[in-house]
Amino acid sequence: MLGVLNHFIMKLIYFFILLFLPNCGNAQISLGTKIAKGQINRITKYNAFYTYFEKDDQKLFFVPMIHVNKPEFYEKRKSTIDSLRNEGYIFFYEGIQLELESKEETELYAKKFRKITHETLLNYYDETNEEDRSYKIEGYVFQNDVDYGLDLDKDINCDLSTKDLVQLYEEKFGKVILTDCDWGTPIGKKYKCSKKDKKGYDYMISTLRNEHLFNEIKNSKAKKIAVVYGMVHTNVVALMLKHAEWKYVRL
């Protein structure tokens, strides 16, 4: 027991040494990158499996995604998506719409969305994105920077826009008021204007989008549907489908 305690204390000391080094900013980024890489690798290990459902004459195939990964991960996904397309599947895909009717409206809802979630929804490798530096990992790529098999002009976006999410949030929790700090902090810069609204985050990032995807599947008349979405969402929607009497079929 004493050995375990000593090991924990040494790890804690090491963490604070990193934190207060003269170059502490870079040290924290390196630590964050290491943690992010470990998370991605762990998720990938359990994200290699596809899920398949049937109901009456409909077939549903989940292709779970991770937004940052090694190129070979997306090559395998592309092979699967190409095969499903050849079998006549239509594709529902994830992608919160950022660009709205005007530049002013786009900025308004991007900053309201950020105030609640502390998310910018920028490409992790975008030079202007300072919030997600830990995901800029050598040898890894961002999902939308590679061809993983989808045709975004022809396949079906089954997601909501920042405007949809904010307005639905405001209906439930009240108006989102932007401060001078919110307006003055460009999207992508470090955001310190408010505390993250954890309930709001879960509602906007998960609950609303999962319900939307579930309803799109439920109301679709297509005989073969492939859902290309983040694993966190596909796991939840799979449970919703089971409750809606879709039959899980082991592949």
pLDDT at 197 over 80: yes
Prediction pTM value: 0.78
For residue 194, the SS3 value is coil
Measured over all CA atoms, what is the biggest interatomic distance in the chain, rounded to whole angstroms? 64
DSSP 124-191: TT-TT--TTGGG--TT-EEGGGS--S--TTTSEE---BHHHHHHHHHHHH------HHHHHS-TTS--
Minimal CA–CA distance to 209: which of 97, 99, 128? 97
Amino acid at 181: C
Minimal CA–CA distance to 54: which of 216, 236, 224, 232? 224
**What confidence tens digit (pLDDT) does each residue in 38-63 have?**
665 665 655 556 889 999 999 999 99
Q: What confidence score (pLDDT) does residue 49 get?
A: 65
Q: What confidence score (pLDDT) does residue 7 get?
A: 47
Q: What confidence score (pLDDT) does residue 66 get?
A: 83
